Amino acid sequence: MGGCTITKVADTQEEVLRLMEEQIKAAQAAGLEPDSELVVLRKGDEVASIYIVTIEGHPQTHKPEDIKVHFAATDRGRAFHVGVAGLFGPEPNEGQFVGTIHVHT
């Protein structure tokens, strides 16, 4: 058993979601499943966006292109990993967005 926290920084929320989709597909192909919601924060803001992640496809092929990732906005979720991302993730510039999710076996 093992897992990791994926954290990406970008200038727009759309770019963060695109980067996170790529990372979730790669994790899924490696046998890791999201076990939290995706949280997107913007440096300088007090409000976060939270997304429930659903996955379709065949991860057993180990091909990210066989996996589809969907994000559904919600107002609450499992976000225990945000503190880890804040401590050990990349430092965003003012106004940049940070996306973070935890994946596990």
**pLDDT at residue 91, rounded to an integer:** 80
Predicted TM-score (pTM) of this structure: 0.85
Q: Each residue of 52-104: pLDDT tens digit?
A: 998 887 666 667 777 889 999 998 877 666 766 666 777 888 889 999 898 88
Q: Which residues pair with 59 in a beta bridge?
A: none
Q: How many domains does the chain contain in total?
A: 1
Question: What is the residue range of 29's domain?
Answer: 3-104
Tell me the average pLDDT across 27-45: 86
Burial class of residue 104, CB neighbours in 10 A (0-12, 13-18, 19+): middle
Taking a C-beta distance cutoff of 8 angstroms, is the pair 53, 69 a contact?
A: yes
